[in-house]
Structure 1
Amino acid sequence: MAEKGSAGLVPVIVFGNIVILLCGLALFAETIWATTDPYYVYPVLGATGKDDVFAGGWIGIFCGFSFFLLGVYGVIASVKSSRTMFMVYLVLMMVVYIFECASCITSFTHRDYMINSNIVKWQMLSRFMDNSSSRSIEVTNFWKRIMLDKQCCGVDGPQDWVDYDSTFRHSYAEYEAPWPFWCCTRDNNFQILNKQACQVGLSPYLFTTGCFEHIGHAINSYTWGISWFGFAILMWTMLVMMATMYHYFTM
């Protein structure tokens, strides 16, 4: 009776492993997408030393491909009904499970640190236009690019450059440039439309929204792919492993 009862789990285990291998492929692709940094926000994370969102992504690449291979192996083990294969499957799956837990936790905890406009603002004010290190140059280039591409200025808005002291202010007096000229609207040839109007803060010629929304969106997108999708796979994998363990001990 025990063998008959456990034999009924074989189709469930096969289906569960098919889902795991498909999710593993999806996780593999998604974490590759995240680690290639399509939003180009790595300089912001790297300058604070909190770039472990990407470290979690690299672990996720390994785990995604491993889930795919173990899903295939689990299907074969279920079809052959081999106790040895089931034991190897459970041991390897537990190892990958632990690594994926580390990936999810690492990415999520470091995401919480970076979703803080004050930290990003301090970094911008202290490093923008600072050419003393390669890291600061990367941050400067990042802000130049995002302010032009996303048509935004500063973290919360152009007033950031007026209300706080900054490295930029040491290079330009407030009457000369209240904010960087990358905050000014430009024509198709990337020439400033009206420099004087931008200097006095006229909205058609000055980007009045902050850039933090775009930065936060990028970091959240990476975290969702690495942590939340990985967490969902872990929950499903736990159920499949429990069913496999029950089948193993009742064979």
Structure 2
Amino acid sequence: MASAAAEGEKGSPIVVGLLVMGNIIILLSGLALFAETVWVTADQYRVYPLMGISGKDDVFAGAWIAIFCGFSFFMVASFGVGAALCCHRSMILMYLVLMLIIYIFECASCITSYTHRDYMVSNPSLITKQMLTFYSANTDQGQELTRLWDRIMIEQECCGTSGPMDWVSYTSAFQAATPEVVFPWPPLCCRRTGNFIPLNEEGCRVGHVDYLFIKGCFEHIAHAIDSYTWGISWFGFAILMWTLPVMLIAMYFYTTL
């Protein structure tokens, strides 16, 4: 009878059921994390140059780690389902070791992405400094940043980081190339018709609000970086919060085998 009781505890259907359910959620979440971080690395908002020049592009490094972790969560959680159903001690041990390794990597991914996001969007001064330094500069980085800012200003109908006054309040590469009396801000700050013709170039040059974009572009840039960070960090943290109790249940299950 004692042997039968031990066998019953060894194969506790409640614990097995919890492990199976927990790992199914982990493997599905792993697939979602994989897809989400592939989207991040594709850089749909195309803001990587801003982060790359600052040296704070580890949001994308975190995304590459999360791609590995997402797929690994899927594979190891699938293995964990089989290990729980088989009630095999060595399989459960292997599951725990592999899951712990992935857990550590995913923690690194989440923390790295969030801390570098905070550096970029907590204050617009860094992005403003980049814009003033590189926009219109005759360097490879300058040409890349100029194309980026031109695209953002056209698509988002904005001007500068905080507004047009960024271009006249500070010294900039654009100001050195184009005197203020010629044009105080980039011509792409001007409102345009559907045919991409300025509504009134002279009105734009003198700063008339009907012909000039007065909104800054920082809100769009911050939204893009935040979107990437939410996908990597906060979804990753949610998976980690779910994975921890599943691992604890697996540890308990291991001691009963």
TM-score normalised to the size of structure 2? 0.95
SS of the residue aligned with 2:210? helix
Q: Look up the match of 1:165.
A: 171
Distance verdict in 2 for CA 1:2–1:101, change over 3 Å: farther
Q: Look up the match of 1:119.
A: 126
| Kept in 2: contact 1:3–1:250 (CA 8 A) | no
- Is residue 213 of structure 1 aligned with residue 219 of structure 2? yes
Deviations 1:67-95 (A, max 9, x none): 01111111111111111111111111111
SS of the residue aligned with 1:157? coil
Letter aligned with residue 15 of structure 2: L
- Is residue 234 of structure 1 aligned with residue 234 of structure 2? no
1:3 offset after TM fit, Å?
5.3
Unmatched segments (≥5 aa) in structure 2: none
1:28 offset after TM fit, Å?
0.3
**Aligned counterparts of 2:231 and 2:9: Cα–Cα separation in 1:** 38
Distance verdict in 2 for CA 1:185–1:250, change over 3 Å: same
| Kept in 2: contact 1:156–1:210 (CA 8 A) | yes
Deviations 1:21-62 (A, max 9, x none): 000000000000111110010010011011000000000000
SS of the residue aligned with 1:203? coil
1:4 offset after TM fit, Å?
3.8
Structure 2 counterpart of 1:179, from 170, 185, 193: 185
**Aligned counterparts of 1:124 and 1:223: Cα–Cα separation in 2:** 22
Q: Look up the match of 1:154.
A: 160
Letter aligned with residue 53 of structure 2: A
Letter aligned with residue 120 of structure 2: M
**Aligned counterparts of 1:31 and 1:180: Cα–Cα separation in 2:** 35
1:5 offset after TM fit, Å?
4.7
**Aligned counterparts of 1:238 and 1:201: Cα–Cα separation in 2:** 57
| Kept in 2: contact 1:178–1:199 (CA 8 A) | yes
1:110 offset after TM fit, Å?
0.5
Distance verdict in 2 for CA 1:198–1:71, change over 3 Å: same
Distance verdict in 2 for CA 1:138–1:45, change over 3 Å: same
- Is residue 131 of structure 1 aligned with residue 135 of structure 2? no
**Aligned counterparts of 1:163 and 1:131: Cα–Cα separation in 2:** 22
Q: Look up the match of 1:96.
A: 102
Shift >4 Å, 4+ stretches: none
Deviations 1:144-173 (A, max 9, x none): 000000000000000100111100000111
Unmatched segments (≥5 aa) in structure 1: none
**Aligned counterparts of 1:206 and 1:221: Cα–Cα separation in 2:** 28
Q: Look up the match of 2:203.
A: 197
Distance verdict in 2 for CA 1:3–1:153, change over 3 Å: farther
Q: Percent identity?
A: 57
| Kept in 2: contact 1:127–1:139 (CA 8 A) | yes
Q: Cα RMSD (Å) of the superposition?
A: 1.1
Letter aligned with residue 128 of structure 1: Y
- Is residue 64 of structure 1 aligned with residue 70 of structure 2? yes
Letter aligned with residue 40 of structure 1: R
**Aligned counterparts of 1:198 and 1:69: Cα–Cα separation in 2:** 58
Equivalenced residues, count: 250
